[in-house]
Amino acid sequence: MAAASEINWRRQALGRRVGTLALVLLVGFLFIWPVAMLFIGIFRNAPPGLPGEWTLDPLVRTFASYDTYTALGNSVIYAVSTTALATLLGAAFAFLATRTTVRLRQCITPVMLLVFAAPNLFYAISWALLADPSTGLLNAAARFVTQSQVNPFNGYSWAGLIIVQSLKLTGFCYLLLLGPFEAMNRSFEEASLIAGAGRLKTVLLIDIPLMTPAIFGVVIVGTVFGLGAFDIPQILGGLAGISVLSTEIFRAVNFSVPPDYARASALGLFMVFALALLLVIQWRVVKAGRFVTMTGKAYKQDRWDLGGWSSVGTAAIVIFTIVALLLPITQLVLTSFQPAIGVYKLTLKNFQAVLADRQTVRAFQVTLELAVLSGLLAMLLATWFGHVGRRSPRWLERYLDTATLVPIVLPGVVLAVGLLWAYVSTPGLRELYGTFWLALIGLVVAIMPIASRAVRGALAQIAKDLEEAAAVAGASSMRVLFDIVVRLMSRSFASGWLVTAVIAAGALDVPLMLLSPTQPSVAILVYSHLISGIPTEAATLLVLLLLAIIAIALLFAAVNALVGIARRRPVDHTAPARRTDTQPAGAMVRPQLEKPV
């Protein structure tokens, strides 16, 4: 009996190795192969899947072209200025929210969460309408106030581009800075006050130096997203004649005849290197130990009373809320009820037209399926990788972790080009071209960094002992995953699914490049209505999309609350020594590196 079982165990050892190999290959194919193919694509003179020759021509052409450097310069200006503004605003609001007694400070986090969650497309379109040089609400107001024919606001300009992107990015920077600000050790400040420094000196000499690494990290990540931004530059910059790298890539594929995939790849790879370099710099700095861990117990929550400046802080909160949320929403809803932009009459015609369109209904179906499935798949994959990673040798854990973070350096348009190369050049997968499935894969890859950060946070809260105890009790690896891990992280899993699905639902770049034009998602439809000159219907569609997202989020919150009530008592996730709690949905959007798609 013993001999027979030994042979069995040896076979299993072999099986495990084959399983590991399969996992490594799958992860490599999903996350690394597209980047590799992007590289190879530079040296091909034909689009993916077509016979071509090896050549250096595209590379030379791309880097000898004046357009490339214009776009590059614009990208850098765009990324740096928006990041600077957004970090400044985010840090100021994080300070107000965590360290002062300013009124309305409790509103900051909810507002920022909404700003973060709102799709880029929403900002692009609402501000395009709001600051439209002739018909926008802002200019109408300016004309009314000055009783003249001035039109001071123009969204289709450098100023418009930078302000709108900064507003959107502020939500992200704020959420990243909130944690470090909250965790700041009050005793450092107290020591400084006792040493004789005033409040202002304490802020300048203690707080700001302490926060520098955190702020530096946010600046780098913000720059990464600024460089990769597509929706806002495409919509606002398109009319202003401002091109950045991502819009240039889109143009190379969609407006060149024949599509210039080699140029798109060259520009894309350029971005990949730049972004990877930025992230490596950030990791180096964080790793070098310059990051001061700011933990410690404050005996009481001592917030600062800013005195006369309090009302300035409150005013800043009100103004930001108006500018970043209320104005865009008002304009969007208003436009959806207008017969034409600038005509102040209300009508339901747009809704009737949109809902009567069979393509609209189909687009909502496609979007729902894309969002729900991509979120679910990304979370399942992330959970699986995370679970396997925890019980694997170090190299495998690091491989899984790093591979799932690769999409951070792949802005949507670049990822799409890479995926086209990767799948269309692979025999048997060519059929995926232009189908729902390739777009689905694209979204899964794009939201993977967020999913894997969310899962990592949740897994870290499950003591490894709990899994080992189940293994010793006789549970197989899969049973451990489903009986213990998934059960314990179910709430985090659900909120991660929600967040990734919402991001996928509002994504424009990946579906726009990968879905067939005959089967558009809602975001694509919004975009195409806008560029074909029907902004009212674009606004209507966007309103409907946002309503659908809000409805789903509310449904989720309700179910979550019901589950919470149904659980008799709070449950402690870890062994007695370590304390944890389930993450609320809001916490999910605070992993260290995130990528708005």
State the residues that interact with another protein by CB under 8 A.
1-2, 5-6, 9-10, 12-13, 394, 463, 465-466, 468-477, 479, 483-484, 487-488, 568-578
Give the residues across from 304 on adjacent strands: 100
> What does the DSSP assignment read for 431-488?
GGTTSHHHHHHHHHHHHHHHHHHHHHHHHHTS-HHHHHHHHHTT--HHHIIIIIIHHH
Long-range contacts from 360-366, C-beta under 8 angstroms, 24+ separation: 360/522, 360/525, 360/541, 362/519, 363/520, 363/521, 363/522, 363/524, 363/525, 363/541, 364/522, 364/544, 364/545, 364/548, 366/436, 366/515, 366/519, 366/520, 366/521, 366/522
- Smallest gap from Cβ 592 to another protein, in A, equals 25
Nearer of residues 258 and 576 to another protein, judged by Cβ: 576
- Smallest gap from Cβ 382 to another protein, in A, equals 21
Nearer of residues 10 and 290 to another protein, judged by Cβ: 10
- Smallest gap from Cβ 490 to another protein, in A, equals 9
Question: HEC string of 80-104?
Answer: HHHHHHHHHHHHHHHHHHHHECCCC
Neighbours of 109 (CB within 10 A): 17
Q: And the tokens for 336?
A: 């959806």
Nearer of residues 305 and 465 to another protein, judged by Cβ: 465
- Smallest gap from Cβ 390 to another protein, in A, equals 12
> What does the DSSP assignment read for 226-248?
HHH--HHIIIIIHHHT---HHHH
The length of the chain is 597
* Pairwise CA distance, residues 548 & 506, whole Å: 11
Cβ pair 590, 175 in contact under 8 A:
yes
Nearer of residues 196 and 474 to another protein, judged by Cβ: 474
Nearer of residues 401 and 483 to another protein, judged by Cβ: 483
Cis peptide before 233 (omega within 30 of 0): no
Measure the N-to-C terminal CA separation of the chain; round to a whole number of Å.
57
- Smallest gap from Cβ 11 to another protein, in A, equals 10
- Smallest gap from Cβ 463 to another protein, in A, equals 6
Q: List % helix, strand, coil for the chain (3-state, nearest 5).
A: 75, 0, 25
Nearer of residues 103 and 487 to another protein, judged by Cβ: 487
- Smallest gap from Cβ 397 to another protein, in A, equals 13
Contact residues for 556 (Cβ-Cβ < 8 A; gap 6+): 494, 495, 498, 585
- Smallest gap from Cβ 573 to another protein, in A, equals 6
Contact residues for 552 (Cβ-Cβ < 8 A; gap 6+): 498, 501, 502
Cβ pair 538, 526 in contact under 8 A:
yes
Nearer of residues 361 and 478 to another protein, judged by Cβ: 478
Nearer of residues 151 and 560 to another protein, judged by Cβ: 560
CA-CA-CA-CA torsion for 328, 331, 334, 336, nearest 10 degrees?
-80
- Smallest gap from Cβ 464 to another protein, in A, equals 9
- Smallest gap from Cβ 586 to another protein, in A, equals 23
Nearer of residues 263 and 573 to another protein, judged by Cβ: 573
The residue assigned the tokens 């995130």 is 594
Give the residues across from 54 on adjacent strands: 44
* Pairwise CA distance, residues 337 & 351, whole Å: 8
- Smallest gap from Cβ 15 to another protein, in A, equals 11
* Among 596, 530, 512, CA closest to 249: 512
Nearer of residues 5 and 148 to another protein, judged by Cβ: 5
- Smallest gap from Cβ 575 to another protein, in A, equals 3
Neighbours of 406 (CB within 10 A): 20
Nearer of residues 450 and 458 to another protein, judged by Cβ: 458
Nearer of residues 185 and 477 to another protein, judged by Cβ: 477
Structural element, H or E, at residue 313: helix 310-321
